[in-house]
Amino acid sequence: MGDRPHAGDAAGSGTGTSTTAPAGAPTGNPATDFSLALLTGLVRNGIRDIVVSPGSRSQALSLVAAELDRSGSARLHVRIDERSGGFLALGLARETGAPAAVITTSGTATANLHPAVLEAHEAGIPLIVLTADRPEELRGIRSNQTTQQDGLYAAAVRWSEDVEAPTGEPEEADRAEALAAAAVRAAVGADTADPGPVHLNVAFREPLSVAVPALAEPLTGELPSTAGPEALGRSTVRVEAGPRTVVVAGADAGPRSEEFARAGGFPLLAEVSSGAHFGPNLVVSYRELLRDDDFGGAVERAIVFGHPTLSREVPVLLAREDVEVLVVAPTGAQAYNPAHRARIVGGVQPGPDVDLRSPEVRAWVGRWVFASRRIAEQAEREADPAAAAPDVELARSFQPSDALAFAQAELAAVRAPITRALLAEAVWRYTWPHDRLVLGASRLIRDVDRIVPGKKIAVHANRGLAGIDGTIATATGIALASQAAARNEGTPSGVTRVLLGDLALLHDVGSLLFGTGETRPHLQVIVGNDGGGTIFDGLEVAGTAPTEAFDRVLYTPQTVDLSSLATAYGWSHAVVRTKGELDQALSAPPAGVSIVEVPLVR
């Protein structure tokens, strides 16, 4: 958390509510006037969400943000933990596509944003980081809560500026507005086609703020567009018929990858977090088929969208010298290229010689799709034969024995214990297009990716660095943004579900905290609780390392009472142990924020 007011910072600083001064009227306090010009400049350039963590040095920025919220110019979100605040801003930006601004005070507060900045950097998520700092004369002399903040995020930001402390000169308002415009353009990649985080490190001298003038009316503004791939020197190429081709869709690939696979008659190997896990060409069991020489061994060309991270088979395919690899990257200076041999392009189009009705095209995509369905059906039967759907023909019979058999089978299905596969399937089944699904970097995302059928729903996951950091905070941002948009548009507002493991929940437990007055979205957190990090049980060393050492440093067992944790933070909590209980919890999630705990066997 940020610094607290103390004697030195409090001297000469003002407090209180908004006055009735005209909008934009100077207050005579350099910190407040500069902050007002900077943040209103961000709003006039399309920023709508501002996240604040409390602190003394940043008080002018925070109080201006509160006035922007009061006037309806922006939405303010307050979090005491800067790491939670950073990932909340990331989630808001993920859902809206527009940068969110996050404000912190000086010192360790700025470092707590680093995980979110790194994820935004790798995933190409626009973010504007505003850190308050001491002025030049207080740097380098061991002044309290002062460190080297200029350049703190190094190569992880698209642009950074160390802003000297305002002194009240008339031209400073123009400088602040120019900084705001430049920050937004850099964050969205308006000139570079490389969206991501930016950093403004703003110094302030005492007195650190006064009351903020009231804004007479809400401010509005338009967000600049992201530059096209030509800004990166990448062109759109035609993909001619001939080589046996698959389309690979990784995280954030988007629906364009599904459209291209369908237009070209290519099998679609789409990860569940790709935004393309649907359509007639979807191959769910792509891992198994890539390991099969009759399928994976026959591939001659792979066209990649997004950032694949959920399998080992895809990088192996792309590293083969006999496979031509095209990576479609319309944005981002760095492109996915695991074997350093891909051709990076800005876009792809099927060539004019592609004939979707030809026997060759239909046979190629058809054999992948049908083989995948056979594998999935067999896996479902083997994984949970007791939970198979009862035979409805028995229900129609007039024989008492048949009716009894149907009732027993129906009861067995409802009482079936929950497996990881059953949990993954159920969460997927109960999520619809007006909902949002957030998948944590746990073992469960791979279970979902392996088994769920195609469905066009909004799925988010932090796969830039695939860390468990900030999963709850990110999901909260996604929920707040999506549900606010639905209210504004008058469309159905769904629930945001988060599926994650117990360690991912505990790693971000501070994000369960909502301060007084903060909006609680419709958010359901589903926790697969197997008592530790069972994802590490899949490591090769698990079979040879001493059990005690392996469990202590990798599995990291835990016995936290999640019910007490939920109560402490004001969340609803339920434990579900059977398929029937799980169906009930997912079909009717309570209003507000809730946790569904699902005990799983290691």
pLDDT in tens, 505-557: 999 999 999 999 999 999 999 999 999 998 898 888 999 999 999 999 998 99
Q: What is the DSSP letter of 551?
A: I
Burial environment of residue 99 by CB neighbours within 10 A (0 to 12, 13 to 18, 19 or more): buried
Exposure string for 146-162, b = 16+ CB within 10 A, e = fewer: beebeebbeebbbebbe
Is it the case that residue 462 has pLDDT exceeding 90?
yes
* Residue-level pLDDT at 592: 97
CB 179 within 8 A of CB 34: no
**Integer-rounded Cα radius of gyration of the chain:** 27
Q: Check whether residue 75 and residue 122 sit in a common domain.
A: yes
Domain's final residue, options 343, 372, 401 = 372
Domain's final residue, options 185, 203, 221 = 203
Q: Check whether residue 247 and residue 333 sit in a common domain.
A: yes
Two tokens, residue 581? 């209980």
| In a domain? residue 380 | no
Closest listed residue to residue 496, CA positions, set 508, 505, 484: 484
Mean pLDDT of 160-183: 96
| In a domain? residue 219 | no
CB 324 within 8 A of CB 301: yes
| In a domain? residue 127 | yes
Q: Check whether residue 393 and residue 437 sit in a common domain.
A: no
CB 582 within 8 A of CB 423: yes
Q: Check whether residue 400 and residue 448 sit in a common domain.
A: no
* Residue-level pLDDT at 55: 96
Is it the case that residue 76 has pLDDT exceeding 70?
yes
pLDDT digits (tens, 9 = 90+) for 384-425: 544 455 666 666 777 777 666 666 666 666 677 899 999 999
Two tokens, residue 10? 């409090």
pLDDT digits (tens, 9 = 90+) for 252-300: 999 999 999 999 999 999 999 999 999 999 999 999 999 999 999 999 9
Two tokens, residue 169? 């000169």
* Residue-level pLDDT at 384: 55
* Residue-level pLDDT at 150: 94
Q: Check whether residue 184 and residue 88 sit in a common domain.
A: yes
* Residue-level pLDDT at 26: 83
Is it the case that residue 141 has pLDDT exceeding 90?
no
Q: Check whether residue 490 and residue 588 sit in a common domain.
A: yes
The three-point CA angle 294-300-302 to 5° equals 110
Which is it for strands 127-133 and 100-104: parallel, antiparallel or unpaired? Answer: parallel
| In a domain? residue 324 | yes
> CA–CA separation, 597 vs 575, rounded Å?
5
Is it the case that residue 11 has pLDDT exceeding 60?
no
Q: Check whether residue 194 and residue 286 sit in a common domain.
A: no
Is it the case that residue 501 has pLDDT exceeding 60?
yes
In terms of DSSP H, where are the helices of 225-279? 255-264
Is it the case that residue 10 has pLDDT exceeding 50?
no
Q: How confident is the model at residue 382 (pLDDT cuts 50, 70, 90)?
A: low
| In a domain? residue 350 | yes
CATH number for the domain that contains residue 583: 3.40.50.970
* Residue-level pLDDT at 17: 38
* Residue-level pLDDT at 413: 65
CA 409 vs. chain centroid, Å, equals 40
Q: How confident is the model at residue 15 (pLDDT cuts 50, 70, 90)?
A: very low
CATH number for the domain that contains residue 360: 3.40.50.1220
| In a domain? residue 214 | no
| In a domain? residue 222 | no
Q: CA dist 394 to 386, 391, 403, 408, 415, Å? A: 17, 6, 6, 11, 19
Segment among 189-193, 212-216, 319-323, 409-413 with least mean pLDDT: 409-413
Closest listed residue to residue 124, CA positions, set 149, 99, 103, 152: 99
| In a domain? residue 218 | no
> CA–CA separation, 421 vs 508, rounded Å?
25
* Residue-level pLDDT at 400: 77
* Residue-level pLDDT at 147: 87
Q: Check whether residue 427 and residue 389 sit in a common domain.
A: no
Q: Check whether residue 125 and residue 239 sit in a common domain.
A: no
For the chain, the average pLDDT equals 92
Q: Check whether residue 194 and residue 283 sit in a common domain.
A: no
CB 525 within 8 A of CB 475: yes
Q: Check whether residue 364 and residue 396 sit in a common domain.
A: no
CB 116 within 8 A of CB 501: no
Q: Check whether residue 269 and residue 329 sit in a common domain.
A: yes
* Residue-level pLDDT at 402: 67
> CA–CA separation, 403 vs 385, rounded Å?
20
> CA–CA separation, 195 vs 395, rounded Å?
58
Taking the whole predicted model, whether its pTM rises above 0.95 is answered as no
Instruction: Determine what percent of the chain is predicted with pLDDT higher than 70.
Output: 91
The domain tally of the chain equals 4
Is it the case that residue 320 has pLDDT exceeding 80?
yes
Residue span of the structural domain in which 390 resides: 385-414
Q: Which residues contact 170 (CB under 8 A, 6 or more apart)?
A: none
Q: How confident is the model at residue 9 (pLDDT cuts 50, 70, 90)?
A: very low
